[in-house]
Structure 1
Amino acid sequence: MRDRQSFIESVYPSLRQGRLALEARGSSQVTEHDGYIAGDEWADYWKGRDERTLSASQLEKYAECPMRYFFQYVLRIRVKDQVTFDRTSWLKPNERGSLLHEVYRRYMTEVSASKVMPITHDHARLLRIAEETILLYAERIPAPSPHVFERERQAMLRDVDVFYRMELQAKTAPRFFEQELIVDGQPLHLELGEDMAITLRGIVDRIDQVAPHQYRIIDYKTGSPRSYKENGVFAGGTQLQHALYAMGTELWMRQTGVDSDAKVLEASYVFPSERGHGQVIARPQTERNRVTAVIRGILLSMEQGLFIPASNPAVCRYCDYAAVCGEHAEMMAHKRKDEANSELLHTLLEVENIE
């Protein structure tokens, strides 16, 4: 049988490559078949790039699953669009989130235009904006039936009511909405200390002023707050947006002359929806050194060529690349614990263990 296998593999070399890949994945050593790009070629490529423009979501995605990051941002493999008709639902979660973001932005822009504090809120105006926005979406994305449209419309109006009740209790002064962090049309050059910097791009949902030269930034979330723990500030590098946007907002304000003494004291994940129960997860910005260490660890792991599967196989259930990986994340579990890989994986595992 061994001779037959050798003969077949000599005729079909790809079968031999596949067998070796499976054997390598089953071994104790982390190899190229697990997403490790060894050698100087990758390090030279990584260091030699002119720009290292990153978004907070890209860094978070690497921390959640380095292999998915590699497929999406290094190889730039795009998942083929599939148009499916679902007669039981209208908007996809991202479309629904965009709609609610638009409603909140339009309403807050209008009621805060006079800059008179406290803001005089107007429920009827908010409902009018919500209805207009829902109808605009319905023109672009037809609902499968009047019944489905009305069901989702009513659900979004309940979300809007949650937002309204939250704003009635707000004490801060809104200043900017959906603010893009650019200066003269260019992304921000964010210094992170010790000769480390990244070119950051992003859009802040909202910037509120809490006192002279002191600010709070807000990121609206229309999903569930389940993964945002009160004491899990960085969540293994998967929640960096609050810290990066806080530093970016300060830099943007100073470089544009909006406020040369600006200081962001807090960044909040706000859940103004029925599903989110109006919950607010506040992140005081007092741990700049820690976020720098997290980002440094992520960048160092990228430079090492480490693009292994996620540490938590649960994230694979909703991954666009699950068909490529199969059960790779589960197969990698023993390699993460093997002493033979401790030196190679040390930095990445440190990042994953940071709360």
Structure 2
Amino acid sequence: MIKRTYIVSSSIAMSKRYCRENKNIGFIPTTLNHLVTELYNHPVFFMENEKTAVLNQHQQDLNLCKIHQSLNTDNYFYEAMKIRGNRGLVLKALLELKLSLNGADLSGLKLTDKRKTSSLIELYQAYEKEGAFDYSKMLFSVIERVKTSKYDTILQDTEFLFISDVEMIGFEKSLIELLRDKTSVTAFEVTKSELKFDALTCSSAITKANSLISSLKWMKDHGLDSSNTKLVALSYDDYAPELYKLREKLPVYLEHGIKCSSFSFFESFMTFLSSRSQTYREHDLFLQKLESTVRMRTEDTSYTELERKFYQMTLLHIRDLKGANSEYEDMGIAIDPYELLVMELEGLRFSASDLDLEESGLTLSRIEDAYALNSLNVVILGASHANYPKKLKIDPILKEDERESINKSIDAKLSVKPFYIEDMLDKLISNSSGKSFLIYEGHSTETGKLTVPSSFYNKVLKAKGEEITIENIYNLCGVKERYVDDLSSQGEFLNVFSNEGLKKNINIQNEKLYSKEIEDIDYAINDKFRTRLSASSLESFYKCPYMFNLKSNLGVYAADLGPDDRSSWLSATERGSFLHAAYEFALMPFIKSKKVYKSYLKGLKEKDLEEFMEQTMNSKVQETDELLFKDISPEIAEHIKKSELLEMRENLESFIEKELENLSEFYPIELEYKFAYTWKVDGTELSFAGSIDRVDTDGKGNFKVVDYKTGKNYFKTTKEYLFDVYDKKYKTHKVYFQHALYTKAMLESEYKSDIKSISAGYYFSSERGEWATVFHEGDTPEKKLEGILKTYVKEASEGKYFKNATQCTFCEYKQLCAGKQLKRKHIAFPQLVNLQKAVGENDA
């Protein structure tokens, strides 16, 4: 009897291709999730299986809405779950918890944040009470059946071959161990790749189309064709449309299909959709009219077969949304059917069969669908840093330290680190027994600037014994030569390309202007009054009270909704923290010594600066002993990290030079000076805590309080009003309170009896900030701050927190802010006017 062999991988497309290429009778392609589902639904268990209906995304969301409405309003997740996208994240976290608990009691849960602990227990219990049938029930049913030998007869003629590393959540790993005891389970072996760099060609192009043309030319020059060469894209959806255009010239196959948005009729329909949403404002009527129109288009033979297929898929989404819309209304939940449809339709894609593409010819695959497969030769498209390597983040609902706490406190099996298949590109190339071609777009056609290549090229340079520098990577890929060649071959095409790249915004329509009446979307209500403040929290209140309420009152996180792919090692904030730490290490030896400041600075050598940089790199968080900077983004290209460290090393050197250049009778006596004090304002006691970057004195009772800024200096002179500055570029006000809070802190400190005068301000320690020091005009900023605090007490105690639309551009809480707030900039809400007046210079 022929045994059935399930070919399991992280991608169903990879499993199918393995079966297709090996042509072995009895091979069944699957993923772990599909395998569990198939085992659960085996005909033998038809009578005992729970009868269920598959829920569409709206039905799942409605279940979450019911759970949300059952929560106490002070639940940690309550505010976040008002947003549909966040509900999806919550569902993912709840399912992962369920897969990791197997019915275990959550009552013993212990997290650092007690509020989040009780909130998570309440949320999970509500989810369990809802009792929706999900994947976890199938998994635990299958596990129990395997344990009790109910699958023994089935498994005796079955074996499992894992051809790639597979993410296993919770008890999925236990299932595999149980199956291993019953039958043959061959696991994917993670081995170090042995790359054949002598058979690897690196190149570049200036467009996606040119990348394909160069790849085909390379294949032709080496006598290769589609029968012996794999074509793999690191950004599949960027290359699929380009390859599809070549289908008349050569047979092509798109393994993952192509997005519907790649076709001109998609944009036309989206424009139509937008106009209908403006014509029919009532949701039911909008969906009813839309359903009628789309249904007719599915049957209209004047449209191509592909267009009718698109309308058939669209019709299903409209009907699902139409069915859910009334339930949303009954629950009092506001949704925008137009926006939901736009998001859903933008994700639609045609399969290869929809496109009438046969499984032959030049096949384009995603790297995650091909990396574990053997091949003779391989072409890899788009090896730029923007798409490889990818930095994956763990689900923001359950952070890494919280997952560890959950596992310890209730014996769960949550994954602590995000699942990531390391070195997919390495494995893909090492699985090729012949030649490999690696190409990326070396220039941005929009800006004309050079783009950052993938860190994979570092390995190529290392293998060649060359220094890892960006210049050597550009030489390796022939960036300059390819740019000239591609440019000369483009001709008029470049002009057309630049125009085609400017897509019109199909959503811009004439809309009715918002009224000036205050609506409930303009503010939040919260009777909680916060008395514990910091400079940043108080500044956030004056920038946008609504954001302050979310962040400081409710403790709502700004959801991280995706991977963070970036072409730099440190973010702007992390870079600022690094430099602050470097300055501290540089000046701390002076404070501990009895030297004259000038002598100390002049005595610093190159090796001292290197030591300060090394100390900064190895500095740790005191509470957790974790490395502050060294472990940030380990996958970042080494030449990028080296370049940034060199730049910050130069900044530190400039910092020392500027200290010498601007020597006066003042010298530092405190660095990262911690403080805590209370301040009674209009009968309300407010408390403040924080740390001051630097305190200087002349030893005669005169003090300077300094806060480092590594960004741009928005002030015009060295002495001016610091509380409020207008940013002309973004038409927004920036508020600064540190100088005043720190002045008050010094007046409450152990130095208070020595103080005759205090100057407070900012030191913009960078070329961008022109190494400027800006101090407050006048030596009593704390008096102005007292007036600001009185306004805070009055406005915050009323319990309404208004949205300030002038702050939306860079706000990390955009997705938690209902309504199109930017369109309400013209409304002068009294609270926002009062706050602006309070920080204004005329009121000083």
The alpha carbon displacement at 1:242 in A equals: 0.3
Distance 1:144 1:12, change over 3 A: closer
**2:678 corresponds to which of 182, 185, 189:** 189
The CA deviation at 1:126 is: 4.3
Distance 2:546 2:790 in 1: 18
**What's the CA shift for 1:209?**
0.9
Q: Is the 8 Å Cα contact of residues 35 and 306 (structure 1) preserved in structure 2?
A: yes
Q: Is the 8 A contact 2:715 2:774 kept in 1?
A: no
Change (3 A) 1:285 1:191: farther
Partner of 1:153: 645
Native 8 Å contact 2:670 2:694 kept in 1: yes
> Residue 277 of structure 1: CA displacement?
2.1
CA RMSD in angstroms comes to 3.2
Identify the residue that residue 775 of structure 2 maps to in structure 1. Answer: 282
CA distance 1:125–1:18, change in 2 (3 Å): same
Structure with the bigger percentage of helix: 1
Asked if 1:291 is matched to 2:785, the reply is yes
Displacement of 1:69 in angstroms is: 1.0
Q: What CA distance in whole angstroms lies between the structure 1 residues aligned with 2:580 and 2:284?
A: 63
CA 1:264–1:129 in 2, change beyond 3 Å: closer, same or farther?
A: farther
Residue identity (%): 23
CA distance in 1 between partners of 2:838 and 2:710 (Å): 27
**Post-superposition shift, 1:292?**
1.3
Taking a change above 3 Å as real, the CA distance of residues 260 and 276 of structure 1, as seen in their structure-2 partners, is same
Q: 1:119-158 to 2 correspondence within 5 Å?
A: 119-120=598-599, 121=601, 122-124=604-606, 126-133=608-615, 135-136=617-618, 139-141=630-632, 142=634, 144-158=636-650
Cα separation, 2, equivalents of 1:264 and 1:318: 37
| Residue 268 (1) aligns with residue 761 (2) | yes
Query: What's the CA shift for 1:219?
Result: 0.7
Superposition deviation, residue 83 in structure 1: 4.6
Within 5 Å, which residues of 2 pair with 1:191-270? 191-192=680-681, 194-226=682-714, 231-235=720-724, 238-253=735-750, 258-270=751-763
User: d(CA) in 2 for partners of 1:135 and 1:237?
Assistant: 31
Per the alignment, do residues 325 and 207 of structure 1 end up closer, same or farther by CA in structure 2, a change over 3 Å counting? Answer: same
The letter for the 2-side match of 1:322 is: K
Q: Which of the numbers 43, 57, 76 marks the counterpart of 2:555? A: 76
Q: Structure 1, residues 242-266: CA drift from partner, whole Å, max 9, x if none?
A: 001111122022xxxx452424511
* Residue pairs, 1:326-341, within 5 angstroms: 328-336=820-828
Aligned length: 323
Give yes or no for the alignment of 1:170 onto 2:663.
Answer: yes
- Cα distance change, pair 17–354 in 1 and its aligned pair in 2 (3 A): farther
1:275 counterpart letter in structure 2 = R
- Structure 2: gaps of 5 or more residues: 1-279, 286-321, 337-512, 619-627, 725-732
Relative to structure 1, is the Cα distance of residues 332 and 308 closer, same or farther in structure 2, using a 3 angstrom cutoff? farther
TM-score by length of 2: 0.35
CA distance in 2, matches of 1:83, 1:227: 36
Superimposed CA distance per residue, residues 105-144 of structure 1 (whole angstroms, 9 cap, x where no aligned partner): 1111112322333442114354123431464366423362
Return the alpha-carbon distance in structure 2 between the equivalents of residues 103 and 203 of structure 1.
16
Runs ≥4 residues deviating over 6 A: 1-5
- The one-letter code of the counterpart of 1:222 is T
Distance (whole Å) between structure 1 residues aligned to residue 734 and residue 653 of structure 2: 33
Q: Is the 8 A contact 1:64 1:310 kept in 2?
A: yes
Q: Give CA-to-partner distance per residue, 1:205-245, whole Å, 9 cap, x none.
A: 11111242221111111122136876342116821110011
Residue number among 312, 317, 321 corresponding to 2:809 in the alignment: 317
Secondary structure of the residue that 1:252 maps to in structure 2?
coil
CA distance in 1 between counterparts of 2:695 and 2:630 reads: 31
Contact 1:130–1:157 (8 Å) recurs in 2:
no
In 1, Cα distance between equivalents of 2:838 and 2:797 = 15
Cα distance in 2 for residues equivalent to 1:14 and 1:294: 44
Preserved CA contact (<8 Å) 1:59 1:238: no
- Equivalent residue letter for 1:285: D
Aligned to 1:28: 516
Contact in 2 for aligned 1:160/1:272 (Cα 8 Å): no
Give the CA deviation at 1:26.
3.4
Deviation readout 1:83-115 (Å, 9 max, x if unpaired): 5243x2111122211111111111111123223
In the aligned structure 2, how far is the partner of 1:76 from the partner of 1:125? 44
CA distance in 1, matches of 2:708, 2:565: 29
- Partner Cα separation in structure 2 for residue 214 and residue 191 of structure 1: 26
Structure 2 residue aligned with 1:114:
593
Letter in 1 for 2:801: F
SS of aligned partner of 1:334: coil
1:13 is aligned to 329
Partners in 2 of 1:297 and 1:19 — Cα distance?
A: 36
- Helix, strand or coil: the match of 1:267? strand
